[in-house]
Amino acid sequence: AQRVTQPEKLLSVFKGAPVELKCNYSYSGSPELFWYVQYSRQRLQLLLRHISRESIKGFTADLNKGETSFHLKKPFAQEEDSAMYYCALSGYNQGGKLIFGQGTELSVKP
C-alpha cells in the first residue's frame, strides 16, 4: 500500500535551533517526493521536491531509498518558518495524484 507518514503532529523549536521534520513513505517503486507548506492565511504551496536537489528558504530534503525517508531539514530555524508542512508522494503513471502525510505543524519560538 502507498502511504506517507509524518510521525510528529507538532514540532516546537526555538529560533536559531536546527529543525528536522520527518517523513517516511511506503511505495513499491521509485516515487517522486515533495514537501508542501502552508503559512498562516496563505494557500498550500510547493516548498521543494527531491528531483530538484535544491535548497529553498534554507530547507533541504534528501531522499533515502534505503530507509524510505524524505526528511526536511534546516540548520537554523526562523520565526517565519512557522507553518504547516506536508510531505507528499506521487507514483509513476498514476496521473500525478499526490498521497499526503498527515502534516506537521512547526512552531518556531523567539
Torsion of CA 37, 72, 108, 77, to 10 degrees: -120
Q: For residue 40, which amino acid is it?
A: S
How many whole angstroms separate alpha carbon 34 and alpha carbon 88? 5
Q: Minimum distance between the CB of residue 49 and another protein, rounded to whole angstroms?
A: 6
Q: Minimum distance between the CB of residue 14 and another protein, rounded to whole angstroms?
A: 25
Residue 17 or residue 46: which is nearer to another protein going by CB? 46
Q: For residue 32, which amino acid is it?
A: E
How many whole angstroms separate alpha carbon 64 and alpha carbon 42? 30
Residue 15 or residue 38: which is nearer to another protein going by CB? 38
Q: Which residues sit at the interface with another protein, rule CB under 8 A?
A: 4, 6, 9, 31-32, 34, 43-46, 49, 51, 86, 90-103
Q: Minimum distance between the CB of residue 45 and another protein, rounded to whole angstroms?
A: 7
Residue 9 or residue 40: which is nearer to another protein going by CB? 9
Residue 15 or residue 22: which is nearer to another protein going by CB? 22
How many whole angstroms separate alpha carbon 56 and alpha carbon 11? 20
